[in-house]
Structure 1
Amino acid sequence: MNPFQGGLASLPLIKTGRSRAINAENPHGEKGKGGMASGPLGPSRKGSPCIRDVAPGTTVTLAEISGPGIIEHIWITVTDHTEADTFVLRDLVLRMYWDGETEPSVESPLGDFFCNGFGRGCTVNSQPMVVNPTRGFNCYFPMPFRSQARIEIENQHEASIPAFFYQIDYCLHDELPDDTAYFHAQWKRQRITDKAEDYILLDNVKGRGQYVGTYMALTTLERYWWGEGEVKMYIDGDREYPTICGTGTEDYFGGAWSFATQRDGKTIENTYCTPYMGYPYYSSHDEAVHNLYHNDDVPPMRGFYRWHILDPIRFQEDLKVTIQQIGVYKKGLFERQDDVATVAYWYQTEPHQPFTPLMGKEERWPR
């Protein structure tokens, strides 16, 4: 029996592979070539900590790596506003490509990928995604590749981004197991959902794999409680009815009883972060808008995450994921129309089906 099994207990075991990192100090992750840039303090003294002045319309390659290997950690930080506008986190688009793909396997506004929707930062404390003050974006989803990995950021903001900080930590291997699948993530939005029609979080997935997570940025457009909609998983040929159907939106994200408590006659909205599910963001005001235009009232905005890490949704042929927009009030349940944006995270065999075109930046902006 091996006494070093699982979690921290496995750390004493010698691991195979060759550790590397890419950042602005070592943009190609070369062995023995980190920190070579010169700065005001001289050679190898913080000479190139970031990418400077990412111009509007520019796509920057953050990493291009020859495999086999596994990306193990990504850290990024950037401003959330410029003098031109306040929605940098929705205007920057993150894309990832595996093994020479021409279609991205990951495509999302930068903030939403890290569970920071609405163009606003918030703290997230979960196992695969961690966002520390202030906008310290971290992702720990393993991202394997056999021949090549390419990560890009596109600036669709109308002004230059003065400084973009990042580090991509990865490990090179001699080979990967035959059953290794590839990481995928896709952002979607429906600015006004159709009444009595489920919002489609993910569709057109063909192949074998497992669904591992959901981020949802919900802007409620109607009054009363909004969270009765069920999450449905259509697996391997399901058509009219799904194999897995949940019991409600707050239930899916691990909460209960409207996430609320009563205190001194007032309803308190309880946000939370846990390793696998959370409600890290709630706001009905936008201070950035207030500072610019002296009007900070916005529809209530809520951000949620749910990681299927201990309970992945496995599929052998195809997968579709939807969520209903159903509320409840004094007279009972009712069909709602709200503004829903989501990121779906999953692993699958390649090739994957091309994503639907990403919305233009103005259509991505929060209300």
Structure 2
Amino acid sequence: MKLQHALLSLASLLLLQVSATAQPPQGDGLFDVDNEIISRSISEENPTGEPGEGGKAASQIGVGRKGAPRFELKAGETHQLCDIEGSGTIRHIWMTGTWGRSREIPMLRSVVIRGYWDGQEHPSIECPIGDFMGSAHAKSVAYQSAVHSTGEKEAFNFWLPMPFTKRARFTLTNEGDKDCTVYYQIDYTLNEDHSDTVGRLHTNFRRANPTTMKEDFELMPKRTGKGRFIGSVMGIRTLHPGWWGEGEVKVYMDGDDEYPTICGTGSEDYVGLSYGIQNTTHMYHGCSLLEKSKEKFEQLDIPKNEKVNVPMSYISMYRWHLPDPIYWKKECRVTIQQIGCCYYERDDDWTTASFWYEPVPSEPLGPFPSEEERTADLKPLLNP
């Protein structure tokens, strides 16, 4: 009988541990109401998030009747999404707009979101809104992952928690030449006891069009100090026929020089797939976009050293290191190779929006591609 009780106790303990790991990323107990945490939300209906200040704008049917559900983001303008003081956590961002409706203009690459933590002057988040919200190539498709959930008509949801200790400020800038309409809501909590060394979310956008032959594309350029790599949304536009994804992901950390500590086996393997890429999405890994252009383009078949006319492929894939964390203590750099099958070096058009946590003050993110560089060569996908 004692053995039976012991086994039941062990089973109960294991069940509790599994339940704990299954909690949302922010780790809040669903039933813990005995705390000092305050819930707030910012939108155009309550741009400061202050208590009792929502829904005061008037429409043609009266005050508080959908008076300010959106704002107009003119070409060249910057709109402040939020400026929050205190210690808290941004828990969720929802956003939609008219930026994905045009088949001529890749506005999801033209509009840029920037985030600033705790008074730091340079942004810790700087990314085109489409890539930040999980959609590469300025094309939104409906799918769900642990970080993003996207509707069929450019409805974006972002779920990574974003802690801050003194201040959180976000802006949205339209760097294109066409106006757009934006709807948004930022849900956050205050009165949280974060330490000064808590990791703040950082997001870096990079594009190499094309990549440099035999030079691995950096998903995350070198960062120093402590941190945790969360993952990436990667976009690939093929510039040569044949299979492009034999390249390995490499994580250089804490003194690694020529060779990394973490090394994968292939590009599709890194996003949890195999034997080529398939349009398959899961919580922590997958491919959300896999399309070919209807038009054919002259490309060099590298192994045969001859030019052929073939469509370009556009791929958007992602990988989230949430149950399998990648921590570093002193420094870290993450790269991916451009290798074809079987085997040869190649160059393609690669983009990445990479996400990680590190304390502030933190180093600047590095050069940000111009609007022209970000939006180039996307029309064959958007307007085939």
- Given the two structures, how large is their TM-score scaled by the length of structure 2? 0.85
1:32 aligns with 2:52: yes
Aligned equivalent of 1:302: 315
Counterparts of 2:195 and 2:204, CA distance in 1: 25
Q: How does 1:244-255 map to 2 (within 5 A)?
A: 244-255=262-273
Distance 1:145 1:240, change over 3 A: same
Alignment of 1:50 with 2:50, yes or no, is no
Is 2:375 the counterpart of 1:365? Answer: yes
The 2-side partners of 1:284 and 1:316 are apart by 42
Q: Does 1:214 align with 2:232?
A: yes
1:77 corresponds in structure 2 to 96
Contact map agreement 2:100 2:154 (CA 8 A) in 1: no
- Which residue of the partner structure matches residue 279 of structure 2? 271
Corresponding position of 2:221 = 203
User: Which whole-Å CA distance do the structure 2 matches of 1:327 and 1:314 have between them?
Assistant: 30
**Contact kept? 2:209, 2:350, Cα under 8 Å:** yes
Aligned pairs for 1:340-355 within 5 A: 340-355=350-365
Q: Which residue of 1 aligns with 2:325?
A: 312
Shift, 1:174, TM fit? 4.5
Cα deviation for residue 275 of structure 1 reads 0.6
Paired residues of 2:220 and 2:335 also in contact (CA < 8 A): yes
2:256 aligned to which of 238, 244, 247: 238
Per the TM alignment, residue 10 of structure 1 is displaced from its structure 2 partner at its CA by: 3.5
SS of the counterpart of 2:207?
A: strand
SS for the counterpart of 1:282 is strand
Give the 3 Å change call, closer, same or farther, for CA 25–314 of structure 1 in structure 2. same
Q: CA deviation at 1:124?
A: 2.4
The SS at the match of 1:306 is: strand
Secondary structure of the structure 2 residue equivalent to 1:257: coil
1:57, CA displacement in angstroms? 1.2
Paired residue secondary structure (1:258) = coil
Contact 1:80 1:120 in 2 (8 A): no
Shift in CA distance, 225/58, structure 1 to aligned 2, threshold 3 Å: same
Question: 1:157 and 1:32, CA in 2 relative to 1: closer, same or farther beyond 3 A?
Answer: same
State the secondary structure of the residue aligned to 1:250: helix
Change (3 A) 1:280 1:241: same
Quick one: structure 1 residues 225 and 174, their matched pair in 2 at CA, closer, same or farther if it must change by over 3 Å?
closer
Alignment partner, residue 185 of structure 1: 203
**Kept after mapping to 2: 8 A contact 1:118/1:366:** no
Alignment CA distance shift 1:366-1:122 (3 Å): farther
Q: How does 1:59-208 map to 2 (within 5 A)?
A: 59-80=78-99, 85-161=104-180, 163-208=181-226
Matching residue of 2:307 = none
1:46-97 per-position Cα deviation (integer Å, ceiling 9, x unaligned)? 0100112x12111111000001010000011112357794211000011000
Quick one: percent identity of the two aligned structures? 38
Secondary structure of 1:273's match?
coil
Change (3 A) 1:83 1:316: closer
Deviation at 1:285, TM superposition (A): 2.9
Partner of 2:41: 21
SS of residue matched to 2:268: helix
Aligned pairs, how many? 343
The residue aligned with 2:3 is none
Q: What SS is found at the alignment partner of 1:251? A: helix
Query: Could you tell me how far apart the structure 1 residues matched to 2:97 and 2:82 are?
Result: 17
Q: Secondary structure in 2 aligned to 1:364?
A: helix
1:351/1:37 Cα in 2 relative to 1: closer, same or farther (>3 Å)? same
Aligned residue type for 2:185: Q
Task: Report the Cα distance in structure 2 between the residues aligned to 1:286 and 1:130, rounded to whole angstroms.
Answer: 28
Q: Distance in 1 between matches of 2:168 and 2:311?
A: 40
Q: Which amino acid aligns with 1:306?
A: R
Shift of 1:194: 1.2
Amino acid across the alignment from 1:249: S
Q: Is the 8 A contact 1:20 1:30 kept in 2?
A: yes
Aligned partner of residue 362 in structure 2, secondary structure? coil
- Asked if the contact 1:204–1:353 (Cα under 8 Å) also holds between the matched residues in 2, the reply is no
Q: Distance in 1 between matches of 2:237 and 2:363?
A: 29
Whether 1:224 and 2:237 are equivalent positions in the alignment is no
Listed one character per residue, the Cα deviations across residues 234-254 of structure 1 (whole Å, up to 9, x for unaligned) are 001211111111000000000
Distance 1:349 1:319 in 2: 14
Residue type of the partner of 2:348? Answer: D
d(CA) in 1 for partners of 2:199, 2:174 = 29
**Equivalent-residue separation in structure 2 for 1:326 and 1:283 (angstroms):** 20
Structure 1 residues 118, 298: CA separation in 2 closer, same or farther (over 3 Å shift)?
farther
Please give the alpha-carbon distance, in whole angstroms, between the structure 1 residues aligned to 2:204 and 2:264.
Answer: 22
Counterpart in the other structure of 1:325: 338
Does structure 2 conserve the Cα–Cα contact (< 8 Å) formed by 1:96 and 1:105? yes
Contact 1:105 1:183 in 2 (8 A): yes
CA–CA separation in structure 2 for the residues paired with 1:228 and 1:79: 37
Structure 2: state its 5+ residue gaps: 1-11, 296-309, 378-384
Q: Indicate the residue corresponding to 2:8 in structure 1.
A: none
- Mapped to 1, the partners of 2:68 and 2:294 lie a distance apart of 34
